[in-house]
Amino acid sequence: MQRGKVMSLYATPLTTLDGEKTTLAQWQGDVLLVVNVASKCGLTPQYEQLEALQKQYHRQGFNVIGFPCNQFLEQEPGDEQAIKTFCSTTYGVSFPMSSKIDVNGAQRHPLYQQLIAAQPQATAPEGSGFLERMVSKGRAPQQTGDILWNFEKFLIDRQGNVVARFSPDMSPDDAQIVGQIEKALAA
């Protein structure tokens, strides 16, 4: 698995769903699972598994951080308040969420520029076929490293290394993801 350390990862400016300016610095030393999310996607039920991971591992220094994105068939059309309400009332989401961002293209958020540079390719479940289905529907990535769809996941270890990237169709509770989280927490 390719590894990459991004020195400025924690300094990258972010905005929360509540409009507050912040960075990842408040989670420096924690294991992070960064996920681009959407409320109207076939993969949206992954919120439930992401929240379960948050609850299970939070006390050990783990956080899921959601980044709403409307770039994939406009599946995150609401404003920040609508996103917050949907996530909290439908899935009981307690993990931190940013304001909407772009994860691909000319307006790609600087955090995603760094994540993709560190891990240009996602691990997919065995026999997935997700990428092939996206290509057959004319939704192929435009550039090497592009985020394929909603719910692509990046794992950052306690030292700020982007140690893994998982495809959208890899469930957050997949043994590979859980194993990598536990390994990062134990290090």
Please indicate whether residue 69 is annotated as part of the active site: no
Ramachandran category for residue 155: left, alpha or beta (phi over 0 → left; psi -120 to 50 → alpha): beta
Name every residue whose Cβ is closer than 8 Å to that of residue 154 and which is 6 or more positions away in sequence: 33, 34, 35, 115, 119, 162, 164, 165, 166
Q: Angle of helix 80-91 relative to helix 46-57, nearest 10 degrees?
A: 70
Dist. CA 155–CA 58, nearest whole Å: 14
Q: CA-to-CA distance for 67 and 104, rounded, in angstroms?
A: 13
| Closest C-alpha among 130, 134, 131, 35 to residue 91 | 35
Task: Give the span between the Cα atoms of 46 and 173, in whole angstroms.
Answer: 9
Q: Which of 41, 73, 82, 185 is catalytic?
A: 41
**Could you give the residue numbers annotated as active site?**
41
